[in-house]
Structure 1
Amino acid sequence: MALLALVSVGGLLFDDRMLVGVPIWTKPFKFAVSFVAYCMTLAWMLTLLPRGRRVGWWAGTVLAAASAVEMVLITTQVVRGRQSHFNNETPFDSALFQAMGITVVVLWLAALVIAVLLLRAKILDRATAWSVRLGSLIALAGAAVGFLMVRPTPAQRAAGVDAGIVGAHSVGVPDGGPSMPVTGWATTGGDLRIAHFFGMHALQVIPLLLLALVALAPRFARLRDERVRLRLTLVASGTYAAVFALTTWQALRGQALLDPDGTTLAAAGATALLGAAATWAALRAPAPSSSPASTSASAGTETPFADKEFTA
């Protein structure tokens, strides 16, 4: 996967072909980088499992293999100068796109197995446990947004069997129109890739946030308490899920990310206010506890991301 990312960089540098309004190697580059981050994060999460590691290993292997097949199919279409996603212009293009659909379903089901294993696992630090559990669940929802993209647009439904391209990233506007630099997200209509990207990367963002809290604990006494870190992790996860839902809703209504209407702004404001209030409540001093686990957590001797069991 990393090798395909490097090949894509070379393509971006030396191949000036354009496809759907962007350099043709942009898609394989973004997919390769995303898959590398996704697979590495899941591999780390699997090390936290006290039980079920064999099942987790097989699920991770299937996921990595499906990702590799997806990348090979995308790269094949790039070499051919053809659109990879939604392309039914020829029987061969259609067969490749259907194969991509199968690999995505397999990938999603493998990630679901890993999420279930994480939900059942007894991990030492509760904040760590919930950061990986909720991060994996939100990532599953983010990946599922991709299934919304294969629906035919109104224009494609009107064209019927003559529509060579069936499905789109954008809502309300055709793919390949005005877009943001780097991301390529539509600026004149909705774009489901925003929610897709935001949701999937909860897998990295939420555990990294917890890691930041642990790093700040020596400087801020309140963060040394594992219960406070757990509260903040739950608040961050809930807020992240709300923003993911908001970006999905905004895209489905055909609204560009940077051109929200009053309803979207009101929902965003309410999410921000609730998130801030919940963060303030989470930072309140926990009730005193004399249990050994709580005492060691308050003293900073327990740290997240350890591979041990705890009693819930």
Structure 2
Amino acid sequence: MNSITTGKRWSPARLRSAFTVRSRPPAERAAYVVGAVLMAVGVFHLGVFLVDGGSWEGPVSWRKPTTFGLSFGLTLITIAWISSHLVVGPRTRAWLLGLFTADCVLEVGGISLQAWRGVPSHFNSQTPFDRTVAMSLALGGAVLVGVLGTMAVVALRGRLRGTRDMRLALRAGFAFLLVGLATGVLMIVKGTTLYRSGDHQAAFETAGSWKPVHGVTLHAVLVLPLIAEGARLLGWDERRRHGAVVIGTGLYLVATLVAVLAVTTTVSAGPPPGAIPSGAWDCRVPGAVIVARSARSGRP
């Protein structure tokens, strides 16, 4: 996507060239392909849920392979794209993308496997195999934080290629991504602590309490650069594009604060009777809210 860094308006030929996968480095091409496959895995499991039925909630459901497949696939494609703006060596970028691609496959694969086995994927040490899967997913989470954290540090230090609006979009997007990673770590630590204390039910039911914040912030690193890119395609000058990114960042900040307020209020007061379960807040699949509401009202 070299034309992004030049500030020139897109022509049809330049647009085709920018999105031609063959012109990308091997690690980036692989990330795009694997990301698309993971999203297809998520869509497949949504279809399984629609056919098979069952609960959308709980530690054993088709929700997890659906949401994780879609989210990890989209995140992998996003990181493959925006990492081209980071000022790092080609070999370093290839290693980071390769690690992240393998990690995404591990996470989605482990969660999907456990869903088909009918057992929880996280906080599960009932058998040696379950313990191995849970520990592998935890290790994968650590790798994910390490890779994305490294990219975020590069971006926040200003080591970026691109016009002023794109640089702002990337720095703000990575800042929100760090919040999403922090809430993910918080949920894992909370669930693990509860599970090891013997309160398994509480681990499964309350570990995901920060999902609203996690879901809101996780994909800002895609949305904000897309705002800059969309404004460029409309032919806006750099000042207008920068203003659009500033507005988008402000709206994301407001949404994040609202999500934090909702979480802290719910945690301190306890969920009201009939409240939507935490999984329904997973904004990576908005249809989950509709499913949860329909189930609650008794409508098919």
Q: TM-score per shorter chain, which class?
A: 0.5 to 0.7
d(CA) in 2 for partners of 1:229, 1:30? 32
3-state SS, counterpart of residue 83 of structure 1? coil
Tell me the distance in 2 between the aligned counterparts of 1:122 and 1:18: 45
| 1:183-235 Cα distance to aligned partner (Å, 9 max, x none) | xxxxxxxx421111110010121112223333444xxxxx52x1342244234
Q: Is the 8 A contact 1:149 1:167 kept in 2?
A: no
Paired position in structure 2 for 1:163: 199
Q: Would the alpha carbon gap of residues 122 and 19 (structure 1) be closer, same or farther in structure 2, given more than 3 Å must change?
A: closer
1:148 equivalent to 2:186? Answer: yes
Higher helix share: 2
TM-score of the superposition, structure 1-length normalised?
Answer: 0.63
User: How do residues 172-191 of structure 1 correspond to structure 2 at under 5 angstroms?
Assistant: 191=209
Equivalent-residue separation in structure 1 for 2:186 and 2:160 (angstroms): 34
1:210 to 2:228 alignment: yes
Q: Which residue of 2 aligns with 1:65?
A: 102
Residues 150 and 50 of structure 1: is their aligned pair in 2 closer, same or farther, counting only changes over 3 Å?
closer
Letter in 1 for 2:159: A
Give CA deviations for 1:281-312 in whole Å, capped at 9, x if unaligned. xxxxxxxxxxxxxxxxxxxxxxxxxxxxxxxx
Q: Distance in 2 between matches of 1:203 and 1:246?
A: 19
1:81 shift after superposition: 0.4
1:31 counterpart (68, 93, 102): 68
Tell me which of 111, 122, 125 is aligned to 1:85: 122
2:177 corresponds, among 139, 157, 178, to: 139
Question: Could you say which residue in structure 2 is the equivalent of 1:113?
Answer: 150
Is the Cα–Cα contact under 8 Å of residues 150 and 166 in structure 1 kept in the other structure? Answer: no
Deviates more, 1:44-53 or 1:191-200: 44-53
Aligned CA distance change for structure 1 residues 95 and 254 (closer, same or farther; 3 Å): farther
Larger Rg: 1
What corresponds to 2:260 in structure 1?
A: 248
Count of aligned pairs: 231
Match of 1:104 in 2: 141
Separation in structure 1 between the aligned mates of residue 103 and residue 202 of structure 2, nearest angstrom: 23
Map of 1:241-280 to 2, 5 A cutoff?
A: 241-254=253-266
Distance change in 2, residues 1:230/1:17 (3 Å): same
Matched, 1:199 2:214: no
Identity among equivalent positions (%) equals 25
Change (3 A) 1:122 1:211: closer
Give the 3-state SS of the residue equivalent to 1:24 in structure 2: coil
CA RMSD, aligned part only? 3.1
Deviations 1:49-86 (A, max 9, x none): 45423212211111111111111110121111012123
Gaps of 5+ in 2: 1-37, 273-300
Q: What residue ranges of structure 1 are gaps of 5+ in the alignment?
A: 176-190, 218-222, 260-312
Residue 167 of structure 1 aligns to a residue in which SS?
A: helix
* Counterpart residue identity of residue 236, structure 1: G
How far apart, CA to CA, are the structure 1 residues paired with 2:43 and 2:262?
34
